[in-house]
A and B are shown apart, each in its own frame.
Chain A
């Protein structure tokens, strides 16, 4: 009976694992829905900002701002890596780390001072394992990064950039394009390359809008705002991608568990059947021996 019982035990434990992976899949599906809704509402906000910029361009305002200017020499830079706090999400963290190490080496070769900030326990431990020490770490970003938290970080970056503490800010995160497509990217957020909005619009003489207090002052506000939105979008994208990655990984794990259970059931039944046959043979042999 020993072998059959051992098989049964294994089957039970795999059933339990399957329950866990299935639940995790359902949870990340629900969280992902929420993350997706948030990403959509941010998109509507960014669209409106772009409309504003287009309005400014049409009114003939020259788009110039210290955050938009490329610095001639980049001596100090900052790299922000967005990873997850937890594992069990397939290649999500691995992809981000690979991209991060690549960008880190690339920047380290050209820049004198490189500052590294990492969000997510997995990213922190992964980079430390590769011998890269982060200067600042965040672990409070879960599946719903709030705007206030991101804004605090964004304000710090804006200040550091304007005072010249660094000349360039790069972010490594997982871009969320669609449910079936997410990929790790490294983007330069500061200086802002493209403000968005329709820059090709012809400045017409008769301005459509009246500006209060002035177009320049609006621009002064729009540019930092646009940076904050971009950074916030990075955090949201990373959160949504993490959920998708976990969803897929857990779905695969559940299917795998199903297969193993089916296989074990078959082996278990065979072992049981074999044992019964064995016992029957013994009984018959015993009866034969007695009757002789």
Chain B
């Protein structure tokens, strides 16, 4: 079975470098699945769950923004933040969502900041909930 080499890097360290069969990643507008033989592409990432299907089963991570590059059998994710989904706690994520919702939004800039915080918190809640199942 052909395999993909998946690398996830944040500015601080390389989080994942593994051989996988399939990757599901959060693009800015929805989820994208990448199987071996995918056409070369560069895309913008959103916030959400990254799933890696490996020999040992499915590994879940939370990633936040950045880019993905698919080239041949190499898939590289450049992201601001990435950590295993098991590290996310649904309750704390929900609290973060509540505080994010209460941020002031009376100017366009503040509105954009609030929206970003809400999107991130919402994505975290979702990933945490899915991981629990």
Contacts and interface: CB of A to CB of B under 8 A. Distances in A.
A and B pair up? yes
Interface of A: 38, 41-42, 44-45, 48-49, 51-52, 55-56, 146-147, 151, 159, 208-213, 217-218, 221-222, 225, 228-229, 232
26 contacts: A41-B9, A41-B11, A41-B12, A41-B14, A44-B9, A44-B14, A45-B9, A45-B11, A45-B78, A48-B9, A52-B42, A52-B67, A52-B69, A56-B42, A159-B109, A208-B40, A210-B39, A212-B32, A212-B42, A212-B44, A213-B28, A213-B44, A218-B43, A222-B67, A225-B66, A229-B11
Contacts of A146: 12
Interface of B is mostly: strand
B29 interface: yes
The main secondary structure of chain A at its interface with chain B is helix
A218 B42 contact: yes
Contacts of B67: 52, 218, 221-222
Contact of A41 (B13, B41, B76): B13
B80 A151 contact: yes
Contacts of B118: none
A229 B80 CA distance: 11
B68 to A, nearest CB: 9
B27 interface: yes
Contacts of A51: 69
Nearest to A207: B40
A48 B41 contact: no
Given A41-B13, A45-B9, A45-B11, A211 B43 contact: yes
B10 interface: yes
Contacts of B27: 212
Given A41-B13, A229-B11, A55 B44 contact: no
Contacts of B78: 45, 48-49, 52, 225
Nearest to A146: B12
